Amino acid sequence: MNRCYLREAVTFCSLGNTPDEITHGIRSNSIEKAKEFTFGAELVSRQYRGMKDKRVTGNDKFYAVLEQLLLELITKSHLDPDQMEECALLIGSTSMSIPCSEPIFKSNPDEVMLPYIGYGAIGERLAHTFGLGGEVALFATACTSSANALLYGQTGINTGKFQRAIVLGFDFYNELTMSGFESFGLLSRDGCRPFDAHRSGMVLGEGCGAILLDTVPSSYKSQLILRGGANRSDTFSPTAHNTDGIMVAQTIRDALCDAKVEPCDVGLIKAHATGSETNDRAEGTGLRHVFSQMPPVLALKSSLGHTLGGCGAVEFAVLWFCLREGFLPKTYGFEVMDDSIGIAPSQDESEVSEGILLLNHFGFGGSGVVLVAQFGECE
Amino acid sequence: MKPLYIEAVSLLLQEASESSAELKKELERTSGQKFRRVNHFVLLALATVFRLPNLSNLDPKCALYIGTANGCVRDVVKMLEQMYRDTLLPMPFTFMGTSTSMAGFHIAQTLGLSGTALTVSNPYGAFEQALGMACTQLESGKSTSALVGCVDEGVFPLDEFKKVTQNDEEVVLEGGCWIKLALECANPHAVIIARESFKTAQAVKEYCEKQALSEPLTVIRNRESGYVGNSGGIDYVRALQEQQRGVIALITKEGKSRFSVTLTRLLG
């Protein structure tokens, strides 16, 4: 069975656009910005973490940002044309190309218009631009989209279906998404506070991440190996996992079993932790079902915003940058433990050199994806 | 590869309709349930699934793979119109409906499934993408059975929709298809006997010609048609329904220089 290495990663997010900017940003926790949008006839303002120095409005900028991201990944990886010919492209996103359509609708609301459609068109254009000749697939499973793409990439490499795959996850600012989450009352007015007793909802963010999974190790001293994972469906509610945590726990157990890892081997949990009442309760309860001794828990959405379908790739890349520098970042926003959940995310930065990582992702539509990775100086 | 058995297939093709009333009626009859607060895209997926026989004996870990070319674009349009034309508050239900994975959620909930549920797309064939992933899942032993299908809906006004999707046909068809796939099956309808990958169309052609020497071969490849999504899956299921013997070769372009051929033997 082939090993699945994280060979290279690039991400553009609210913390910055390079590993140095991002690791510096996560240590200093940049100030959240607000976005104003019209909700019905009312103009509302909500915290939002937009990408640094990049704005995606319209078709050209949408593709320009994604193409810049992929170009940086390919350049840093030193992929030659033959390797690109064999490379799969696996995409995960929630909003897809809505940021391209929305400005057109907004400027011509009385004209008949349809959005740019054709989910596969994004992958087809990007694969053509960069000469990626392998399988092109797009995952549409809400906030687990790019996590599912990572899991499929890992399975494909393990089984020899492909030698390498670029996993691209993204979600860019659009008013449809902001209004939609506002309509559910899920957007916080005072910041994301994962697992906190006074948590008040999510802060959305935008970002894109590209990860090269390969049978070949990275050029860095320490390696990150994707060992396995699982995806399951919780049919309790279309918008939230059951707060009894049973399906969350089952997904974690399946993932550990797939990776041949025991709960006591896990050294870090990167929680999904949106800061919403039910999501954090379901996840926290599920974690307590599995772990009698809780490993350190890290939540990144209070630093990055919730990048929705892109969060699997974006958060994986950000965590990788931190691990390469030998530290685990602290979780911002957490102050008071919710005793009914009993999870206290890491409050201080700590050193790390190796270990097993669990990466949780839970989204709308009952979709849950848990990935298991190993970090260290592997043989 | 391990043989993968097709236990049953279903197909739903209808002229694109603004109304979901007929779908709801059909679903009430076939599922015995009333579906409220689900959109047209989800209803199309559910109605097609419930045309499959013997759904009551599904393994709860049966995997679910749905391919779609365009997703639930009708609710995206509806929400943008509510926001910008009518300046109304967006409704939570409409926003939820813009998430394509809701079809998988409602199928899993209705059938009591808790295993893998994926909604996927591919520029060259959404059903074929879903089928390929399901085959990998079953061959790896992570699941023993899977429902594999595709669904796509028409969006109104149809003239605009035809322009955007470059559909030249007079009648726009919407709907989808499903197959019930398993590692073991008492009374299979057909069996997938091979899945091969190729780098050139010429290699695919030569492989199919070789196969055709030993038994009758029906070749299915994605083509333009009145169907709103990728038509390969629809044509594949139609061939499974209509033919009694021989082998069906489903040719899929998976990437710029990657093709796959799925060979399915009909079992009469």
Task: Judge whether B252 and B125 are in contact, CB under 8 Å.
Answer: yes
What's the average model confidence in pLDDT over A295-303?
Answer: 97
8 Å CB contact of A114 and B73: yes
The verdict on B59 and B158 lying in the same domain is yes
| Domain shared by B62 and B121, yes or no | yes
Mutate to test the interface with A, among B99, B106, B153, B156 (most CBs of A within 10 A): B99
- Mean pLDDT computed over A244-263: 98
Q: Tell me the C-alpha distance between A200 and A192, whole Å.
A: 7
CA distance B251 to B236: 10
pLDDT tens figures, A33-60: 788 898 888 999 999 999 998 988 888 8
Residues of B in contact with A140 (CB under 8 A): 68, 71, 100-101, 119-121
Question: What is the mean pLDDT of the segment spanning B242-262?
Answer: 90
Judged by CB atoms closer than 8 Å, whether chains meet at B120 and A117 is answered as no
Which of B76, B84, B119 has the CB atom closest to A140's CB atom? B119
On the CB side of A167, how many CA atoms lie within 13 Å of its CA? 37
Nearest to A118 among B70, B114, B199 (CB): B70
Contacts of B157 in chain A (CB under 8 A): 112
Which residues in chain A touch residue B59, judged by CB atoms under 8 angstroms apart? none
Least Cα separation, residue B33 to chain A (angstroms): 16
Residue A9 is given by DSSP the state E
Q: Which of B165, B182, B199 is the last residue of a domain?
A: B182
Q: Cβ–Cβ of A115/B73 closer than 8 Å?
A: yes
CA closest to A44 among chain B residues:
B89
Please tell me whether the overall predicted TM-score, pTM, comes out greater than 0.90 for this model.
yes
Residue A183 main-chain phi, psi, to 5 deg: -65, -25
Q: Dig out the tokens for A24 from the structure.
A: 């510096």
Q: Looking at the structure, tell me whether residues B229 and B171 fall in a common domain.
A: no
Average pLDDT estimate for B124-134: 93
SS3 B250: strand
pLDDT of residue A367: 97
Are B195 and B255 in the same domain?
yes
Helix A58-77, helix A98-107: angle, nearest 10: 160
Last-in-domain residue among B162, B182, B202: B182
Tell me what percent of the residues of chain A surpass a pLDDT of 70: 99
* pLDDT tens string B46-68: 999 999 999 988 999 999 999 99
Residue B230 phi, psi dihedral angles, 5° rounding: -80, 135
What's the CA gap between A172 and A170, in Å, rounded?
7
User: Quick one: pLDDT at residue A366?
Assistant: 96
At A204-222, the pLDDT tens digits run 999 999 999 999 999 999 9
Q: Which of B182, B215, B248 is the last residue of a domain?
A: B182
**Residue B36 CB contacts under 8 Å (≥ 6 apart), including other chains:** none
Q: Which of B71, B136, B199 has its CB closest to that of A119?
A: B71
Instruction: Name the more confident of A190 and A225.
Output: A225
* CB B261, CB B125: distance < 8 Å: no
Q: Are residues B201 and B176 in the same domain?
A: no
The alpha helices in A119-264, defined as continuous H runs, are: 119-130, 145-158, 175-183, 246-258
Query: In this structure, are B172 and B201 located in the same domain?
Result: no
Query: Which chain A residues have a beta carbon less than 8 Å from that of B99?
Result: 94, 142, 364-365
- A-chain CB neighbours of B96 within 8 Å are 180, 238-239, 364
Lowest mean pLDDT among A374-378, B129-133, B247-251: A374-378
Fold of A223-376: Peroxisomal Thiolase; Chain A, domain 1 (3.40.47)
What token pair was written down for A142? 């809400």
pLDDT at A116 over 80: no
Res A117: pLDDT: 75
Rounded Cα–Cα distance for residues B174 and B158 (Å): 12
Are the CB atoms for B230 and B150 separated by under 8 Å?
A: yes
8 Å CB contact between A271 and A283: yes
State which residue of chain A sits closest to B121, comparing Cα positions: A138
Same domain, B98 and B129: yes
CB pair distance less than 8 Å for A141 and B102: no
**Residues B230, B127 within the same domain:** no
What pLDDT, on a 0 to 100 scale, did the predictor assign at position A33?
75
- What is the model's pLDDT at position B209? 93
Q: Which of A139, A179, A233 sits opposite B120 (nearest CB)?
A: A139
Cα–Cα–Cα angle for A270, A272, A278, rounded to 5 degrees: 140
In this predicted structure, what is the pLDDT of residue A80?
A: 94
Whether residues B127 and B198 fall in one domain: no
pLDDT of residue A379: 60
How far apart CA A8 and CA B190 sit, in angstroms, is 43
> Are B74 and B130 found together in one domain?
yes
Q: Is B157 exposed, middle or buried (0-12, 13-18, 19+ CB in 10 A)?
A: exposed
The reply to whether residue A180 touches residue B90, judged by beta carbons under 8 angstroms, is yes
The number of distinct structural domains making up chain B is 2
Average pLDDT of the residues of chain A? 94
Same domain flag for B69 and B135: yes
Tell me whether residues A114 and B84 touch, CB distance under 8 A: no
Between B69, B102, B112, which is nearest A365 by CB?
Answer: B102
Contact B89 A183 (CB under 8 A): yes
Q: Which of B33, B42, B81, B120 to mutate to test the interface with A (most CBs of A within 10 A)?
A: B120
A369 pLDDT band (50/70/90 cuts)? very high
- The answer to whether B155 contacts A114, with C-beta atoms less than 8 Å apart, is yes
Closest by Cβ to A141, choosing from B70, B109, B119: B119
Q: Which chain A residues have a beta carbon less than 8 Å from that of B254?
A: 134-136
Whether B209 contacts B223, CB under 8 Å: no
Size of interface A-B (CB pairs under 8 A): 203
CATH architecture under which domain A5-214 falls: 3-Layer(aba) Sandwich (3.40)
Please write the tens of the pLDDT for every residue from B216-240: 899 988 765 567 777 899 999 999 9
**Contact predicate A376/A355, CB 8 Å:** yes
Residue B166 and residue B248 in one domain = no
* Two tokens, residue B236: 């594949």
| Residue-number span of the structural domain to which B16 is assigned | 4-182
Q: Is the pLDDT of residue A32 over 70?
A: no
User: What local confidence, expressed as pLDDT, does residue A30 receive?
Assistant: 67
C-alpha span between B168 and A47 (Å, rounded): 45
CA distances to A3, A213, A219, A332, B194 from A163, in Å: 10, 8, 17, 38, 21
Residues B154-159: what's their mean pLDDT? Answer: 91
Search chain B and give the residue with CA nearest A149. Answer: B120
The more confidently predicted of residues B70 and B255 is B70
pLDDT (mean) for A179-207: 96
Q: Where are the domains of chain A?
A: 5-214, 223-376
DSSP B189-245: SEEEEEEEEESSHHHHHHHHHHHHHHS-EEEEE----SBSS-SHHHHHHHHHHH--S
